[in-house]
Structure 1
C-alpha cells in the first residue's frame, strides 16, 4: 500500500447494505473478556503513516469527524513497528488510554496496519504462526483496537502454487485466535485484482483466502489503485466492470466471487498524485481523494444518525 506525501491516505466506504451504528463507549483495558468492539459498517477508514506534530500522535478526534477507523502504519516484519505504529508504541500507557478514550467517545477505533509492500513473508520463508502470534501480542500489549493485514507478497501470489494464500490463511487464523471476534477488529487490505479469479493468480489469491477465512475477517480495505490501463480510475471500472487483464474485480462484480458487499471498502489515495492509477468519481458515487467530513456526512446519509 502506498502513502501520500501528506499525512493520510484514505479508504472510504460507499454507503453499502449494512446500516449499523457505531458503539462509542470507552473500552476497559482490564481484561480481554471485558472488551467489546462493534465493527463499523459502513467503515470509513483513514491510514495514518507520516509524522504528525502532535505529541499524542493523532491530535483531537474532532479533526476526523465522519471517520470511524484510523489505521496507524506500519507494523512490519523487516523493521518492527515503524512510523506511526512506532510512535504509538512509545507513548506512555496512560497516554494511550487517554487518547483511546477520546477517540472511542467520538466513535473512532485505532488499529495498526501490518506488513505492507516492503514485507514479503511467504517468499522470505517467515513462519505465519510465529509472526501472527507476535503481531497479535503487539496489539494486546499496546492497547490497540485491532489489526489491518496488508499482505503484498506479489511474487508468492503470482507463483500460483498456493503457498501465498496458505500463508495468509494461517496468519489470519492465528491473529483471530489472539484477537477474538467482537473484541478486536481484523481487516485485510488486498489488491483489487485479487478479488476475482485470474490466470495470473492460479491459486485464487483473495478469492481463496475469503473462502477459507472470510468469516474471520471483519472487512476488506481494497486497494483500487496502482493498476495498468487506469483500471479502477473511473466510476465504470471501479464500480461495475473492471478492465483487462483484471476483469471481474470491480466493486459490484466481487460478490460473484464470494465477497459480501457490505464487507468491501473502497481504498483510494488521499492526495493527488500519490498513486499511478487512482481516479475519482464525483461524490456521492465514490470517494474523492479530498473527501472531507462534510462529504463523508453526506455519503453516510442516515446510516449513523
Structure 2
C-alpha cells in the first residue's frame, strides 16, 4: 500500500521485458513510478507474474528500498492484448480480483492500460471503464493507492461519430476524481502526429485527431496536472510518435513555462531508464542524482 500519492511531476516507466526482479532502486533515481506489466483478465503475465514468484520477504525488501528512494511500485493492467469489454468480462468482478491482487502482492497501486479499441468504437468502453474504476476505488481507496489510466491521446477527441460513448472526456467528467492521473499515449497514432512540440502541446493534427494535444485536452476540462506525456523510449518501442529525448526536453521546458507539471511516461524500461529520464528532464526538472550501475 502507498503511504501517500506522489505529487506531480510523475516520471513513470513501464517494464514488460522479462527480468528476474525490478531494477535496484539505486539505479533509477530519475524515475518515481515503476510499473510491472501486465495483470491480465487471465492472470499475471511477464513482470507482473515474476513478482508473484518472490517470497514475501523478498518483495518487502524491494518495496522498502523503493519506498526509501521515493519510488512507487505498481502493476499495469490489460495492455494491447487484453480486450475485456469485447470479451464480456464483468467489470465489477474484474476490479475486485485486480484490487485483491494489488493488496496480496503489496504494491502501491494499479495503472489501467485499457486498449480495447473496438469497445471505444462501438460505445461500450466508457460504461465498462466507469464501473471498473469505481469498483477499483471501492477496494483501493484514493489517497492510499495509486490508480492511473493510460488512454490513447485520440480518445480525448470530442467526436461522437468516432466514439459514440463520449470517449475519455466523458470518462473524466464522470469519474475523473477517482483517477490520480492519465499516462496519455502520444504515440502509435500514425506519421506526423504528436511528433513535434507544437503538435504535442498546442495543436494536434486538425484533420486526424483534432484538439488532442496537451493544452487542448486541458481546455476540454481535464486538469493540466493530470495530463502526463507518454512517449516511446526509442524508435523500436513504438511504430510512430518517437521524439529524440533532447527535443522532448525542450517541449517540457516550454510546457512548464505555461503551467504544466504533470510529468512523463515512457514505454519501456530498460531503454526508458534513468539516463533517458535525466535527458528528458534536463531543461525543466533536472535530475541531479547519479544512478549506480547494476551489478
Would you call these one fold, judging by a TM-score over 0.5?
yes
Q: Matched residues in 2 for 1:213 and 1:115: separation? A: 19
Which of 35, 40, 44 aligns to 1:81? It is 44
SS in 2 for 1:144: coil
The match for 1:50 is: 17
Residue 177, structure 1, aligned to residue 177, structure 2: no
Q: Matched residues in 2 for 1:291 and 1:299: separation? A: 14
The match for 2:26 is: 62
The match for 2:269 is: none
What TM-score, normalized by structure 2, do the two folds share? 0.84
Residue 268, structure 1, aligned to residue 231, structure 2: yes
Residue 249, structure 1, aligned to residue 212, structure 2: yes
The match for 1:165 is: 126
What TM-score, normalized by structure 1, do the two folds share? 0.82
Residue 228, structure 1, aligned to residue 190, structure 2: yes
CA 1:182/1:297 → structure 2, altered by over 3 Å: closer, same or farther? farther
CA 1:62/1:298 → structure 2, altered by over 3 Å: closer, same or farther? farther
Give 1:38 shift.
Answer: 2.5
Q: Matched residues in 2 for 1:295 and 1:211: separation? A: 31
Whether the 8 Å CA contact 2:15–2:37 is kept in 1: the answer is yes
CA 1:292/1:257 → structure 2, altered by over 3 Å: closer, same or farther? closer
The match for 1:278 is: 241
The match for 2:7 is: 40
Give 1:236 shift.
Answer: 1.5
Which of 80, 98, 105 aligns to 1:117? It is 80
RMSD of aligned alpha carbons? 2.0
Q: How does 1:75-154 map onto structure 2 within 5 Å?
A: 75-78=39-42, 80-154=43-117
Residue 208, structure 1, aligned to residue 170, structure 2: yes
Segments of 5+ residues of structure 2 without an aligned counterpart are 253-263, 267-271, 290-295
Segments of 5+ residues of structure 1 without an aligned counterpart are 1-28, 30-34
Q: Matched residues in 2 for 1:296 and 1:88: separation? A: 29
Give 1:90 shift.
Answer: 1.2
Deviations 1:58-110 (A, max 9, x none): 232121111110011000114x1011100111110011111001011110000
